[in-house]
Amino acid sequence: MCPPESAWPSLEHGGGNESPVVKRSIVIAGHKTSVSLEDAFWKGLKEIATGRGLTLSEMVGTIDSTRAQGNPSSALRLFVLDHYRTQIAIEDGTNLPKPDVLQAV
């Protein structure tokens, strides 16, 4: 379930939508690596993983193994965006095409 729009930060300049980039170490496919994401994306990933009964490392590993190109940070951002876009579409009763790279997660 998505938070109500009133809970979302304003998109106007200075509206509190700053989300600093946070670099974290994470294990992907048994290898420790660093991934830089805005804090909002880290929070989104944790919420999604918890909702699916996965650890953050398990979910990130699955996302990484299905990415066709690009870097891990971009793949994670796109995954979070797709998750919430799909949720909104379901709530609205609309259909969104699903990107192939995110189907397995």
CB contact burial 6-38 (16+ within 10 A = b; e otherwise): eeeeeeeeeeeeeeeeeeeebebeeeeeebebb
Is the residue at 42 inside a domain?
Answer: yes
Give the whole-number percent of the chain exceeding pLDDT 70: 72
Is the residue at 6 inside a domain?
Answer: no
Boundaries of domain holding 66 = 19-102
Read out DSSP for 6-61? GGSPP-STTSS----EEEEEEEETTEEEEEEEEHHHHHHHHHHHHHTT--HHHHHH
CATH number of the domain encompassing residue 32: 1.10.3990.20
Q: Which pTM value belongs to this model?
A: 0.71
Is the residue at 47 inside a domain?
Answer: yes
Structure tokens at 30: 């048994």
**In this predicted model, what pLDDT tens digit does every residue of 59-98 receive, in sequence order?**
999 999 988 878 899 999 999 999 999 999 888 887 666 5
Domain count of the chain?
A: 1
